[in-house]
Amino acid sequence: MRRVVFNQKGGVGKSSIACNLAAISANQGRRTLVVDLDPQGNSTRYLMGRSAEELDDSVADMLEQTISFKIYNRKPEEFVHTTDFPNLHVLPSSPDLDYLERKLEAKHKIYKLRESLRKLSELYDAIYIDTAPALNFYTRSALIAAQRCLIPFDCDDFSRQALYNILGEIQELQEDHNPELMVEGIVANQFQSQASLPRKLVLELMEEGLPILPVRLSSSVKMKESHQAGKPLIHLAPRHNLTRQFDDLYRLLNGEAVEVAELS
């Protein structure tokens, strides 16, 4: 399964969600890959313990060979790095993604990521794609390459307004480029269950018929500690409440029944 975690708004937890779901997948014995398409490289640093600049091979190198005569026919898996966590691998970001974007767009290489990830799907049970907070060439490539899309939602009115635009853009991409893509749902992140505004926003979106997932991810300093330690929550704090919420979300996305608290 190729799953993209996407939202045009920054600070909604895309990298945290992609990496922690991937870590749970790998911890359950599934061979799992994280593809970091954000030039900031947050997922790369989180899982590799090093910045993208320190790594030799990257997703940018893999894509560049589609337009360069200097790089010949390296297989996609040759750009993948192992992590310290069993079964978990990373196709890292690179600052070169910025300058490469115009070249790829000019050469109409929007489908090249899909071709590479389809090949990698033969080697991996699950692929999680982290994206930049923008609807650019790379995020469109990711949406075209993916089979499922998970949308993180930060519970404020700015995020709500952005959400309508995101769903419209995804629908257009589905119609024009990737009918296989399905929106799995919208996950409320950094959710404060005792505050009235987040509950009100989520209930209103549910009443509008939007695909709000019943599992919500709490706001916790433990996530920041996880980033600093370079350890996904399943390895840093397996019994923490936020870790259990991620596990519930993972199981829900994989078709398992989970118990969730009702909003009131």
Total count of domains within the chain: 1
Tell me, what CATH number does 233's domain have? 3.40.50.300
Structural domain of 141: 2-253
230: left (phi over 0), alpha (psi -120 to 50) or beta: left
Q: Is 259 within the bounds of a domain? A: no
Q: Is 200 within the bounds of a domain? A: yes
Provide CB contacts within 8 A for 11, sequence distance 6+. Answer: 133, 154
User: Cα separation of 16 and 154, whole Å?
Assistant: 13
Q: Helix crossing, 137-145 with 112-120: angle to 10°?
A: 40
The whole-number pLDDT of residue 215 equals 95
pLDDT at 27 > cutoff 70: yes
Q: Is 51 within the bounds of a domain? A: yes
Q: Is 30 within the bounds of a domain? A: yes
The whole-number pLDDT of residue 69 equals 60
Q: Is 73 within the bounds of a domain? A: yes
The whole-number pLDDT of residue 38 equals 96
Nearest to 105 by CA among 160, 63, 75: 63
User: Cα separation of 53 and 56, whole Å?
Assistant: 8
Q: How far is CA 162 from each of CA 158, 200, 260, rounded to the nearest angstrom?
A: 6, 17, 26
Q: Is 176 within the bounds of a domain? A: yes
Q: Is 209 within the bounds of a domain? A: yes
pLDDT digits (tens, 9 = 90+) for 29-62: 999 999 999 999 999 999 999 988 899 899 999 9
pTM equals 0.95
Nearest to 126 by CA among 117, 113, 114: 117
Is there a contact between 37 and 63 (Cβ–Cβ < 8 Å)?
no
Q: How confident is the model at residue 72 (pLDDT cuts 50, 70, 90)?
A: low
